[in-house]
Chains A and B, each alone.
Chain A
Amino acid sequence: MSHHLEASRNSCALHGALQLFEAIDGVVPVIHSTSGCGVQHYLGVTRLSGGNDTFGSPPVSSSNITQKHVVFGGGSRLREQLKNTVKVVQGELYAIVTGCSTEMVGDDIPAMAREGRDQEWPVIYTNTPGFGGDIHHGYHLALKALIEQLPDILKSREEIPSGLVNIWGIIPNQDPFWRGNLQELGRLLEGIGLVPNLLLGNGQNVASWQQVPGALLNLFISPWGEFPARLLEERYATPSIICEGVPVGNAASILLRRLTDRLELDPIRTEEFITREESRLNQQFARLADSYYRAGFQREFALVGESAQVIGIGEFLVNSFGMLPRTLVITDNPSESIQEALDSRLMAILPGYCTDVLFSEDQSEIHDVVRAGQPGIILGSSLEQEVAVELGVPFLALSFPLFDRIVLERAYAGYRGAAALLEDLGSAMLAGSKYINEAS
């Protein structure tokens, strides 16, 4: 039995599926649930991720079931809603997602999707009641629906480019920098001669998803990418590579070398690319040195976010920026085996240094452990600002929920992302430099 949660930052499965579907051009989610589910998603997720409002409104189709449907079943209401959605809302693919109420009532969703397909409408479905799991679970369910159902509905005409790599595990909005991060990862892959399949974000559409089976490799960037990679390995025998954290700074070089090795790419080309990128980043490091020492950037930090963010950003700050990892909090609730692996990796992030590692999504637990660590700067979601204010230390909002920043294309991944992170972190330090004396 799970514990209650204060200010949970991992909303429900329905919202997770919406995150994914809304991030693909041409996919129209059709919610079969009570009317408020889509508004909850808009208020509690979309509005809190810094400028990610796809439609200029909450989700554009919802069956809004009422008492009558709870008593007598809502199948006919869904049939009507689906029929009219196809007429009204432009889309290449309609994805039925369900809420708790219609699942408890027992509406036959596969049958409704089948009826739609009999009309030659491109319809997929996934059962996503909120009681089934959190936003990460919903991400999995939506991926599964796309991977399993799409090939039967739409036949791909386009030729699949050689050297195609699918990228998995970056969840829209749960990583507020998802668009930028995917684009930077794509740029890195292109740099060594691969063709990235970003799947989500600007310009990514149903056709991108139709190319999934033809990829050379699946690259997954967080523990949440393992599931689709496994699914694809079973179906299409596509091999995969895992990179547990968003690769920030020189971690990108490690990833590029692994890819080069694994896919037998031209090592000279890869090394040339890495050299160019690293030397640019090193120059940026050097230009920052005066501010770094003068304003006392080197200090203990607390970092709160999803596992891929904490690993990627945490390791970068420790391995390249001289900072001291006081408290690391992972909020995305990964499975126990992953927690064990992450725990030993993060406890020793700076060998010999005492780092507190906590897995929690409960605000009171998180704030207690961050407060107890007395860090010199806090990096986390906007919820952690109150602790920073309380401790009088600088603060940088970078994880979900993000309600005091706008993020459109900014990335913290890769070499360019590392520079952006240094800009934001440095700016926060300077803005809070009146606290230096207490903090250092």
Chain B
Amino acid sequence: MSPLRAKAPRSREKRLDTLGAWFGPVSVASQEFAGDEIAQRIRTFAQSSNDDLLYALRILSGIRNSVTVIHGPRGCAAAGLYHTATGSNTRWIVTDLDERDTIMGADGKLRKSILALYHRYQPSVVFIVGNPVIAINNDDIQSVVEELHQELELPIVPVYVTGFSSQNAVSGYDTVLHSLLKYLSGKSAPTKKNETFNLLSVAEHPNDRKEALNLLALFGLELNIVPDDSTIELFRSAVAAKASIPLCPDAPEYLGLILQEKYGVPLIKVSRPVGIEGTGRWLKSIAAFLGKESVAEELHTRKAAETARKLGDFSLQGIKVYISLSSSNAFSVLDLVEELGGEVTGLTITHLDRLHVRHLDELTTRNPSLQIHVSDGQAFEEVSILRKLSPDLYLGDSTHLGQVARLGIPVVSLESLALVGYSGVVRLVRRIKTALANGSYELALAKAASPYHEAWFRRSHNWHIKQEVK
């Protein structure tokens, strides 16, 4: 049976035993993932965190000439305004469901919206995004999709995110990529391959993509970039490509998997091209697939030397660093910090699953007592951990950097810092130098009151995380 038959893929929890809440030494995490059975954890105190809907919107914000209809109440489209603010050219529409719509259904409203938008903007694709209201009501989006697809001869792609069916927002990437392939890429593998390679780039910084292209220019490949900044045509040609190169092993994992399993496009296994050695490893893995090892070897040697020259005598020797990032990013930045001579004292990652086992095992060998904290958006937990560790530097992309900085810790935001490639190392080092050179703002922030009761910091960091009772 085709993996794309279902409305949405299985959640990451079900597919990869993904955990969204966990705290402990890396050796224990490694042991747990060596077993068959991994118990899900739940929080009895929680703070807001991303959901699959938000991650779906991230991907859709990068598809050119598209209109995104969030078929729900107004608030579900708030993040669309944020994507506009940060440069997305997508048109964001909300059907503005009201109480009556939640009882009577609103497929008429959806149909009218799509028709109006089609005539106004002549987009090449329309996305319909689900949300809790549509999911709970089980509204009939599918018949609208089918009717209007025929009537307008326009691809209309429903994205069945719910806001609650997975505890891990990363499942939202899978759901939207599932729909993009299902509705844009054709029912079966094409008989004839084209000459292109896919660069799988999910919610990456534009400069990261640019850097990856610069690096890959070495091999003289013709590239399809999907899904970031792509068009629907690229999804059609992606299934006929010679191979897929992921820019990250985690976010585009499902895309790479389906391209391989259903359409026969081989997936080149790589780690993330971050750090000097990390970038070299990425290039060498691709080179091995292409049979161009010596070219990659030569470039890496040259670029590594050039980067070392640019860094001069910079070292993180004696600096304790805390990292809080999406999972694959965090593991690759950990390697980079160690490469720069720094000591990583702890790690917060958004989710932990079978894709990360290699990292857990490696870290267990190197530093078994390193604390791993799995959380998305749980500022309270992080603050509690950071107070105990008191690191010299925090590298992160969370939405609660403001709370971290109030602890007086110098912060570097990686939310809009391009980290990929050799140039990413230089860029990060420049930012770290800046942050360490003057901590006066953090000292001023440290005077702001904490939102939390002091007493609760004396408890363990995970007193409120329990094993789920099935």
- A residues neighboring B (CB under 8 Å): 1-15, 28, 31, 33-45, 47-48, 53, 55-67, 69-70, 80-81, 84-85, 87-90, 99-101, 104-105, 129-135, 364, 382-383, 401, 403
Q: Would A35 and B50 count as touching, CB distance under 8 A?
A: yes
Q: A7 CA to B69 CA in the complex, in Å?
A: 10
6 residue pairs of the A-B complex, CB under 8 angstroms, read A1-B101, A15-B78, A36-B54, A61-B47, A62-B48, A100-B73
How distant is A33 from chain B, measured CB to nearest CB, in Å?
Answer: 8
Q: Would A36 and B47 count as touching, CB distance under 8 A?
A: no
Q: A81 CA to B73 CA in the complex, in Å?
A: 25
Q: Would B402 and A57 count as touching, CB distance under 8 A?
A: yes
How distant is B105 from chain A, measured CB to nearest CB, in Å?
Answer: 12
Q: A111 CA to B59 CA in the complex, in Å?
A: 40
How distant is A23 from chain B, measured CB to nearest CB, in Å?
Answer: 15
Q: Of the candidates B46, B93, B399, B450, which one forms a contact with A5 in the assembled complex, judged by CB atoms under 8 Å apart?
A: B93
- 0/1 per residue, B436-468, Cβ < 8 Å to A? 000000000000111111001000000010000
CB-based nearest A residue for B77: A8
Task: Contacts A48-B81, A104-B136 given; indicate if A39 touches B75 (C-beta within 8 A).
Answer: no
How distant is A377 from chain B, measured CB to nearest CB, in Å?
Answer: 22
Is B207 located at the chain interface by the 8 A CB criterion? Answer: no
Q: Would B47 and A57 count as touching, CB distance under 8 A?
A: yes
Q: Would A15 and B75 count as touching, CB distance under 8 A?
A: yes
How distant is A385 from chain B, measured CB to nearest CB, in Å?
Answer: 11
Which of B141-149, B163-171, B218-226, B309-317 lies at the interface?
B163-171
Q: Would B51 and A4 count as touching, CB distance under 8 A?
A: no
Which of B84-92, B184-192, B264-272, B324-332 lies at the interface?
B84-92
Q: Would B132 and A134 count as touching, CB distance under 8 A?
A: no
Q: Would A7 and B402 count as touching, CB distance under 8 A?
A: no
Task: Contacts A67-B164, A401-B85 given; indicate if A8 touches B94 (C-beta within 8 A).
Answer: yes
Q: A394 CA to B399 CA in the complex, in Å?
A: 33
Q: Would B49 and A35 count as touching, CB distance under 8 A?
A: yes
Cβ of A3: which chain B residues have Cβ within 8 Å of it?
Answer: 96
Q: Would B402 and A60 count as touching, CB distance under 8 A?
A: no
Is B251 located at the chain interface by the 8 A CB criterion? Answer: no
Question: What is the size, in residues, of chain B's interface with A at 8 Å between Cβ atoms?
Answer: 74
Q: Of the candidates A8, A47, A88, which one forms a contact with B82 in the assembled complex, judged by CB atoms under 8 Å apart?
A: A47
Q: Would A6 and B78 count as touching, CB distance under 8 A?
A: no
How distant is B197 from chain A, measured CB to nearest CB, in Å?
Answer: 34
B105-137 residues at the A interface, CB under 8 angstroms: 108-109, 112-113, 116-117, 120, 131-133, 136-137
Is B196 located at the chain interface by the 8 A CB criterion? Answer: no
Q: Would A131 and B98 count as touching, CB distance under 8 A?
A: yes
Cβ of B77: which chain A residues have Cβ within 8 Å of it?
Answer: 5, 8, 11, 44
Is B43 located at the chain interface by the 8 A CB criterion? Answer: yes
From B74, B136, B380, B449, residue with most partner A Cβ within 10 Å: B74
Q: Would A4 and B399 count as touching, CB distance under 8 A?
A: no
How distant is A80 from chain B, measured CB to nearest CB, in Å?
Answer: 5
- 0/1 per residue, B390-409, Cβ < 8 Å to A? 00000000011111111000
Cβ of B74: which chain A residues have Cβ within 8 Å of it?
Answer: 5, 8, 10-12, 130, 134-135
CB-based nearest B residue for A14: B75
Task: Contacts A4-B69, A4-B95, A57-B403 given; indicate if A34 touches B102 (C-beta within 8 A).
Answer: no
Q: Would A84 and B48 count as touching, CB distance under 8 A?
A: no
From B49, B95, B167, B456, residue with most partner A Cβ within 10 Å: B49
Q: A40 CA to B72 CA in the complex, in Å?
A: 13
Is B435 located at the chain interface by the 8 A CB criterion? Answer: no
Q: A6 CA to B116 CA in the complex, in Å?
A: 11
Q: Of the candidates A7, A53, A88, which one forms a contact with B45 in the assembled complex, judged by CB atoms under 8 Å apart?
A: A88
State the 10 A-B residue pairs at the shortest beta-carbon distance, nearest first: A44-B78, A56-B402, A38-B48, A12-B75, A36-B51, A130-B73, A57-B400, A84-B45, A4-B113, A403-B85
Q: Would A382 and B85 count as touching, CB distance under 8 A?
A: yes
Q: Would B464 and A84 count as touching, CB distance under 8 A?
A: yes
Q: Of the candidates B76, B133, B400, which one forms a contact with A58 in the assembled complex, judged by CB atoms under 8 Å apart?
A: B400
From B98, B163, B401, residue with most partner A Cβ within 10 Å: B163
Q: A339 CA to B380 CA in the complex, in Å?
A: 45
Q: Would B46 and A62 count as touching, CB distance under 8 A?
A: yes
Is B379 located at the chain interface by the 8 A CB criterion? Answer: yes
CB-based nearest A residue for B450: A90
From B69, B377, B448, B452, residue with most partner A Cβ within 10 Å: B377
Q: A99 CA to B449 CA in the complex, in Å?
A: 29
Q: A89 CA to B47 CA in the complex, in Å?
A: 11
Q: Would B80 and A44 count as touching, CB distance under 8 A?
A: yes
Cβ of B363: which chain A residues have Cβ within 8 Å of it?
Answer: none
B238-279 residues at the A interface, CB under 8 angstroms: none
Is B79 located at the chain interface by the 8 A CB criterion? Answer: yes
A-B contacts, CB under 8 A, total = 242
CB-based nearest A residue for B454: A90
Q: A200 CA to B164 CA in the complex, in Å?
A: 33
Cβ of A10: which chain B residues have Cβ within 8 Å of it?
Answer: 74
Is B97 located at the chain interface by the 8 A CB criterion? Answer: yes
Is B53 located at the chain interface by the 8 A CB criterion? Answer: yes
Q: A382 CA to B82 CA in the complex, in Å?
A: 11
Q: Of the candidates B80, B85, B136, B399, which one forms a contact with A39 in the assembled complex, judged by CB atoms under 8 Å apart?
A: B399
Q: A3 CA to B451 CA in the complex, in Å?
A: 40
Cβ of A105: which chain B residues have Cβ within 8 Å of it?
Answer: 136
Cβ of B79: which chain A residues have Cβ within 8 Å of it?
Answer: 39-40, 43-44
Cβ of A104: which chain B residues have Cβ within 8 Å of it?
Answer: 102, 132-133, 136-137
Cβ of A66: which chain B residues have Cβ within 8 Å of it?
Answer: 42, 164-165, 167
Q: A156 CA to B248 CA in the complex, in Å?
A: 57
Q: A63 CA to B116 CA in the complex, in Å?
A: 38
Is B214 located at the chain interface by the 8 A CB criterion? Answer: no
Q: Would A56 and B91 count as touching, CB distance under 8 A?
A: no
Q: A309 CA to B285 CA in the complex, in Å?
A: 59
Q: A64 CA to B117 CA in the complex, in Å?
A: 33
Cβ of A131: which chain B residues have Cβ within 8 Å of it?
Answer: 73, 97-99, 101-102, 133
CB-based nearest B residue for A132: B99
Q: Would A62 and B44 count as touching, CB distance under 8 A?
A: no
Cβ of B133: which chain A residues have Cβ within 8 Å of it?
Answer: 100-101, 104, 130-131
CB-based nearest A residue for B92: A7
Q: A44 CA to B377 CA in the complex, in Å?
A: 16
Q: Would A35 and B51 count as touching, CB distance under 8 A?
A: yes
Q: Would A2 and B96 count as touching, CB distance under 8 A?
A: yes
Cβ of B92: which chain A residues have Cβ within 8 Å of it?
Answer: 6-7
Q: A403 CA to B47 CA in the complex, in Å?
A: 25
How distant is B384 from chain A, measured CB to nearest CB, in Å?
Answer: 10
Q: Of the candidates A4, A39, A40, which one forms a contact with B377 in the assembled complex, judged by CB atoms under 8 Å apart?
A: A39
Q: Of the candidates B72, B76, B136, which one forms a contact with A70 in the assembled complex, judged by CB atoms under 8 Å apart?
A: B136
Q: A133 CA to B74 CA in the complex, in Å?
A: 8
How distant is A51 from chain B, measured CB to nearest CB, in Å?
Answer: 11
Cβ of A57: which chain B residues have Cβ within 8 Å of it?
Answer: 47, 377, 379, 399-400, 402-403
Q: Would A101 and B91 count as touching, CB distance under 8 A?
A: no
Q: Would A129 and B81 count as touching, CB distance under 8 A?
A: no
Task: Contacts A4-B93, A60-B47, A100-B102 given; indicate if A87 touches B453 (C-beta within 8 A).
Answer: yes
From B48, B133, B402, residue with most partner A Cβ within 10 Å: B48
Q: Would A34 and B94 count as touching, CB distance under 8 A?
A: no
CB-based nearest B residue for A70: B164
Cβ of B75: which chain A residues have Cβ within 8 Å of it?
Answer: 11-15, 37, 40-41, 44, 99, 130
Q: Would A36 and B50 count as touching, CB distance under 8 A?
A: yes
Task: Contacts A15-B78, A53-B402, A89-B452 given; indicate if A99 touches B132 (C-beta within 8 A).
Answer: yes
Q: Of the candidates A42, A59, A90, A129, which one forms a contact with B452 in the assembled complex, judged by CB atoms under 8 Å apart?
A: A90
| 18 further A-B pairs in the complex, CB-CB below 8 A; given A44-B75, A45-B78 | A1-B109, A2-B98, A8-B94, A12-B78, A31-B48, A41-B75, A42-B48, A43-B79, A44-B80, A48-B81, A57-B47, A57-B377, A58-B400, A67-B165, A87-B45, A100-B131, A104-B132, A132-B98
Q: Would A62 and B47 count as touching, CB distance under 8 A?
A: yes
